[in-house]
Structure 1
Amino acid sequence: MVYSPLEQFAIISLIPIHFGNIYLSFTNASLFFLLSTGVFLLLFHLVTMEGGGRFLPTPWQSIVEMIYEFVVSLVDEQVGGKGQAYFPLIFTVFTFLLMANLIGMIPYSFTTTSHMVVTFGLSLSLFIGITIVGFQTHGLHFFSFFLPAGAPLALAPLLVVLEIVSYSFRAVSLGVRLFANMMAGHTLVKILAGFSWSMLSVGGLLAVASVIPFLIVFALTFLEIGVACLQAYVFTILLCIYLNDAIHLH
C-alpha cells in the first residue's frame, strides 16, 4: 500500500460529538492543542513549585528563565516600555507556537501549526487586536498610518489604498508563513523517509544505498527542529513590530 506524505496532516475524530448539523468532535488536532498548552503550563508549575527560592536554579528552571528573559528583551527592543503591558499575550503566543512546533517533531505526533486554518485564525485574531489597540491609542488619528509623511497630496488616494491593502495582508502573510514552513518541512522529511524505507525493503544494492536518504532525513530532522524554533521567533518578532507600529505609528 502506498501512503501519501500528506496523511500526517489528516484530521482524525477521536471522540465524535454531534449536535444536529453542528460538528464539535474531539480530534487529534484538539488533543495536541491541549498538549501544546498543557506541557508548558505543567513545566512552569513544576519549576515555580520546586525551584522557587533556590539560589542555584535547576536545569528546567534555567530553560524557563531563558525563555522568559528572551521574550522580555524582545518586547523591550521592538516595542519599548509601552509594550510591556502586552507582554503576557506575546509570551503566551511564543510559548504556544514553540511547544506546538516542537511537539510536532515527535514521530507519529501531530503538528497543529501545519494547518492554515490554525495559523491564519491566530494571525487574524492578533491582527484585529492590534488594530483595536491602534484605535484605542490614537483614535481616528490612527488613519494617518495609511498616508506616508511627505507624500504628495495628489497621490494620496492611491497611496492610501496601497497602504490599506499592504496593512491588511499582514494578517495573511503572518499565518501563511508559519503554515507553509511547517507543512513543507514535514512533507519533505516524510517523502525522504518513505523513499529510504522503500529502498531498504527492496534489498541488495538499494538497501545499501538507502543509507544516503536516511542520513539526509537525520540531518533534516535537526534542521526542522531549528526551523520550529525559528518560526516561533519570526512570528513573535513580527507581532512585536506590528504592535509597535500601532502604538507609535511608525
Structure 2
Amino acid sequence: MKIGDLYFSFTNPSLFMLLSLTLFLLLVHLVTKKGGGHLVPNAWQSLVELLYDFVLNLVNEQIGGLSGNVKQKFFPIILVTFLFLLFCNLQGMIPYSFIVTSHFLITLGLSFSLFISITIVGFQRNGLHFLSFLLPAGVPLPLAPFLVLLELISYCFRALSLGICLFANMMAGHSLVKILSGFAWTMLCMNDLLYFIGDLGPFFIVLAFTGLELGVAILQAYVFTILICNYLNDAINLHQIVLSYVCFIF
C-alpha cells in the first residue's frame, strides 16, 4: 500500500508478530474470562501465573534501590517484552512457520527502542548527573577525554550487542536444524535400503538439535529480559555492572 512517498507492506514478520500477539492475548483471555481466575487454577491459569511470578521476581531481584511501587512502573514493559520474545521464539519452532527474531532489523529495532527508553528513564531519575557514568571516579584528568569517549562507545554498543545476541543465536540454531533436516530428508528419498538405514543417524541428530533449539528459544527470551533489567538498574542507580558478555556465552 502506497501513501504519497511512503510505502507500507504487510510482510511475513508483520504476520507472525501479529500471530504471536494474538496467541498471547488468547492465553490471557482464557485465564481472565468470566471475571478472573479460579481459586484452584487450571493448566492455563497456572502457566500465566508462573510466567507472571517469574518476571516479577526477576524485576525485584535485578532492579535495586527502588521501592516495590516504583518497580511496578517498569514491570509491565518488561513482562510484555519477555512474553513477546518467548511467543515469537516458540512459534518459530513450528514447522513451516516464520521466526521473527531471526531477522536482524527486528531485533535491532526492539533493542534500540528499549535502550532509548532506558536512557530517557536515566535522565528522568538522575538529571544531568546521569552523564557521570561516562567518567569513573578517581580517573586522572589527562585520561578523562579518552575514557569518556570509550565509555560512551561502550554504552551505545549495548543496544547493538543486545540485538545481535538475539538474532545470531536464533538464526544460527534454525539454520543448523534446517541444514540437517534437508540432509536427512534427501537420504530418506533415495529409495535405497542402505540410505534409509543410514538416515537414522541424521534423523536422531535433528531431533536432538530440535530439543536444544527449543531450550535456546526459551533461554534467549530470558537472557534478553535480564540484560534489559540490568541496563535499567544501571541507568537508575548509576552502577557499572557489565553483563553484556552473558549473551555471547549463550
Structure 1 and Structure 2 fold alike (TM over 0.5) = yes
Are 1:209 and 2:198 counterparts?
A: yes
The alpha-carbon deviation at position 23 of structure 1 amounts to: 2.7
Equivalent residue number for residue 221 of structure 1: 210
The alpha-carbon deviation at position 181 of structure 1 amounts to: 0.5
Alignment of 1:50-199 (within 5 A): 52-80=36-64, 81=67, 82-199=70-187
The alpha-carbon deviation at position 52 of structure 1 amounts to: 2.6
The alpha-carbon deviation at position 91 of structure 1 amounts to: 0.4
Distance 1:38 1:153 in 2: 55
Distance 2:150 2:71 in 1: 27
Distance 1:121 1:27 in 2: 16
**Percent of residue pairs identical:** 63
Are 1:45 and 2:26 counterparts?
A: no
Q: Which of 21, 32, 36 is the aligned partner of 2:20?
A: 36
Deviations 1:132-168 (A, max 9, x none): 1111111111110111122222211111111000000
Amino acid at match of 2:81: V
Amino acid at match of 2:232: L
Amino acid at match of 1:225: L
Amino acid at match of 1:123: S
Distance 1:21 1:209 in 2: 56
> Structure 2 regions of 5+ residues with no counterpart?
240-250
CA contact (8 A) 1:44 1:64 kept: yes
The CA RMSD measured in Å over matched residues stands at 1.3
The alpha-carbon deviation at position 53 of structure 1 amounts to: 4.8
What TM-score results when the alignment is normalised by the length of structure 1? 0.90
Question: How many equivalent residue pairs?
Answer: 234
Are 1:249 and 2:238 counterparts?
A: yes
Distance 1:228 1:142 in 2: 34
Distance 2:117 2:162 in 1: 14
Distance 2:232 2:174 in 1: 31
Deviations 1:110-142 (A, max 9, x none): 001100010000000111111111111111111
The alpha-carbon deviation at position 227 of structure 1 amounts to: 0.3
Stretch of structure 1 that moved more, 56-65 or 18-27:
18-27
Distance 1:123 1:38 in 2: 22
